[in-house]
């Protein structure tokens, strides 16, 4: 057997393997993963609980900085960590394939609530930057005081709590 014949057999075998895999995947009806309604609702509740925790942690960081109990960089690091938690919560919701209309509505409400908390934490980071000497003059979304920021966070947390209650969470 020549080297070229061996390559043809190897290529033919590889092609046959690819065709077989494609056929198997097509035969199994490769569709998005599906969860049962209870599982999907629990996933929404878990994401909202994480978002609520992140918002509460942000509130604590802002309060501690306002009281002079932590430095700006410490508060900013805490807020940045909470943005990562919120990113994970949003990812959990955006990748969820709802099994029914009720779960789809819960997911939509959850996404709005997580977005509200994310916006408030982003505003908190801007406030921390100004408080630490940053020049954000004229920037949109920078709260003028810690009180304004805490109200914004509380409003976002209320929305998260309401969405969590709707999803059957604690």
CB under 8 A, 24+ apart: contacts of 91-100: 92/43, 92/46, 92/47, 92/50, 93/43, 93/44, 93/47, 96/35, 96/40, 96/43, 96/44, 97/32, 97/33, 97/34, 97/35, 97/40, 98/40, 99/34, 99/35, 99/36, 99/37, 99/40, 100/37, 100/40
pTM recorded for the entire structure: 0.76
Of the candidates 166, 164, 167, the residue with the CA atom closest to the CA atom of residue 54: 164
> What pLDDT does residue 4 have?
58
Could you tell me the pLDDT band of residue 142, with boundaries at 50, 70 and 90? confident
CA-to-CA distance for 61 and 65, rounded, in angstroms?
A: 6
Q: Which of 98-102, 142-146, 152-156 has the lowest mean pLDDT?
A: 142-146
Question: Tens of pLDDT along 23-75?
Answer: 444 444 444 455 676 789 999 999 999 999 999 999 999 999 999 999 999 99
Contact criterion met (CB below 8 Å) for 44 and 107: yes
Residue 91 CB coordination number (10 Å)? 12
């Amino acid at each position: 057997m020549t080297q070229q014949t061996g390559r043809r057999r190897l290529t033919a075998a590889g092609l046959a393997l690819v065709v077989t895999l494609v056929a198997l995947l097509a035969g199994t009806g490769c569709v998005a993963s599906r969860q049962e309604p209870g599982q999907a609702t629990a996933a929404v509740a878990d994401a909202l609980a994480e978002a609520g925790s992140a918002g509460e942690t942000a509130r604590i960081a802002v309060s501690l900085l306002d009281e002079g109990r932590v430095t700006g960089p410490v508060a900013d690091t805490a807020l940045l960590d909470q943005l990562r938690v919120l990113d994970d919560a949003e990812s959990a919701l955006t990748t969820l394939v709802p099994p029914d209309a009720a779960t789809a509505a819960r997911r939509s409400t959850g996404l709005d609530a997580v977005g509200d908390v994310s916006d408030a934490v982003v505003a908190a980071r801007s406030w921390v930057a100004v408080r630490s000497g940053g020049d954000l003059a004229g920037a949109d979304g920078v709260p003028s005081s810690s009180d304004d920021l805490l109200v914004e966070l509380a409003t976002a947390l209320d929305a998260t709590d309401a969405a969590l209650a709707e999803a059957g969470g604690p």
